[in-house]
Amino acid sequence: MRAAWSFLRRLLSSPIAAFGAIVLVGFVVMALFAPQLAPFEPGAPNLRARLSPPAWAFGPEQYFLGTDHLGRDILSRLIYGSRIALLVGVAGVTLQALLGITLGTLAGYFGGRLDIAISRLIDTLISIPNTILYLTVLGVFGPSLVGLVLVIGFIGWTTFARVVRAETLSVRNREFVEAARALGQRTPMVLLRHVLPAIMAPIIVVATLNVATVIILEAALSFLGFGVQPPTVTWGRMLADGRNYVATAWWLATFPGLTITLLCLSLIFLGDRLRDVLDPRLRGR
């Protein structure tokens, strides 16, 4: 417990990381309490207030960030949109991590043909520009929340696998792993008890940074019409609407993009700091 506290204190001793943590907590609170926080129903149209500018830019005072082409409150939609972004980000990265860590440790620990097979699979997946692959698969199976998470997990695990494979390679012949083997521990135990804890630091860093990547990816897929479908609010879909009204209503596209950027910034700040604290070798990279 004390170790956890001291770790957290070291992590947040950097003002930038502390800022990131506060923003991230803010977004989580926003997602959890969206119904209490949002001033309006996110899907409720108000046709008399279509495309109203933000309140502080001479718009109607009840709409702080203005309304969209159907008169829906942008602030409320942003608040609700955080739910899908965080859900897909966390669930997608969790699945990526499960697959990537499993395949990466297997490839790194056993080497040989298994390693070659897994490495070629990674080569294959990273050779196809990812959006094209994601869109094709989503196009075939039809877009849905579960489908989106599965696709992100099953295609995007390669970063985890590559990092984990390299780290496993570097620890598999270290004394503590050999000692465990010599003591007669079975391979799954050696992997779970000894190898995995030793390579946890880079995994945590990759996970944090990947959440940002996946959030941007989710927004891009929604922007292209292949994300979670309406009436569920997604930031990417809001941006697609904003693109259509860019010449007449600047606020439609501006705020969802700023929101995504802010959330991803907070994750990158935290990820970079985690790297500094957990893995001093990589400091400054």
Residue 281 CB, shortest distance to another protein, in Å, is: 12
The 3-state DSSP class for residue 73 equals strand
The residue within the footprint of another protein, chosen from 37, 87, 137, 198 (CB under 8 A), is 137
Q: Does 127 bind another protein (CB under 8 A)?
A: yes
Verify binding: residue 142, another protein, rule CB under 8 A: no
Nearest to 157 by CA among 92, 216, 86: 92
Work out whether 40 is an interface residue with another protein (CB under 8 A): no
Q: Does residue 27 belong to the site contacting another protein (CB under 8 A)?
A: no
229 binds another protein per the rule CB under 8 A: no
Q: Please, which residue, 170 or 261, has the CB nearer to another protein?
A: 261
Binding mask 231-250 for another protein (x = CB under 8 A): --------x--xx--xx--x
Answer yes or no whether residue 121 interacts with another protein by CB under 8 A.
yes
Site membership for another protein, residue 7 (CB under 8 A): no
Dihedral sign from CA coordinates of 144, 145, 148, 153: negative
The answer for residues whose C-beta is within 8 angstroms of residue 213's C-beta and 6 or more apart is 156
Residue of 29, 25, 32, 34 whose CA lies nearest to 76: 34
Torsion angle in degrees (nearest 10) through CA of 197, 202, 206, 208: 70
Q: Give the closest residue to 49 by CA, choosing from 36, 64, 35.
A: 64
285 makes contact with another protein (CB under 8 A): yes
- DSSP 8-state class, residue 187: H
Q: Phi first, then psi: what are they for 67, rounded to 5°?
A: -130, 165
- Sole binder of another protein in the list 114, 224, 229, 279 (CB under 8 A): 224
Identify which of residues 177 and 212 has a Cβ nearer to another protein in the complex. Answer: 212
| CA dihedral over 65, 67, 73, 79, signed as positive or negative | negative
Indicate if the alpha-carbon torsion angle 135, 138, 139, 145 is positive or negative: negative
**Contacting residue, 103, 264, 274, 277, with another protein by CB under 8 A:** 264
Task: Assess 230 for contact with another protein (CB under 8 A).
Answer: no
Residue whose pair of structure tokens reads 């947040």 in the numeric block: 12
Q: Does 124 bind another protein (CB under 8 A)?
A: yes
284 class by beta-carbon count within 10 Å (0-12 exposed, 13-18 middle, 19+ buried): exposed
Q: Which is nearer to another protein, 194 or 272 (CB)?
A: 272
Can you tell me the distance from the alpha carbon of 72 to that of 227, in angstroms, rounded to the nearest whole number? 20
Q: Count the site residues for another protein by CB under 8 A.
A: 45
- Interaction between residue 15 and another protein (CB under 8 A): no
Least distance from another protein to the Cβ atom of residue 134, Å: 9
| Sites of contact with another protein (CB under 8 A) | 120-121, 123-124, 126-133, 135-137, 139-141, 212, 216, 219-220, 223-226, 239, 242-243, 246-247, 250, 253-254, 256-257, 260-262, 264-265, 268-269, 284-285
